Amino acid sequence: MRTCKRCGGIMVPQEVAGRLMLVCNSCHYSESMGRGKMKRESVLVVEEEEKPAPTTHTICPSCGHDRAYWWIRQTRAADEPSTRFYKCVKCGKVWREYV
């Protein structure tokens, strides 16, 4: 993304009289893109390591294992209780319990 030299607005590519130009959305200043293609900017994606959720003793409805990860989310209105989610340590089944 390039910005306008005059006003700082965003320059967008447009075809003007058969030539590819960068034109400002705000003040309509334009400049040639040159012979090369526009340079693509890369985006760095940083994935954080997942922190393990706490576990509790509960029975999985799918495989019967006795340990599951748990977490709480507010899934309904703010004046209603939260929802507790479980994920089986063994088979990965997820289920919920309304508190």
Catalytic annotation, residues: 79-80
| Element housing 21 (H / E) | strand 19-24
The CA distance from 33 to 79, in Å, is 56
Q: Which residue, chain included where needed, has tokens 């089944």?
A: 93
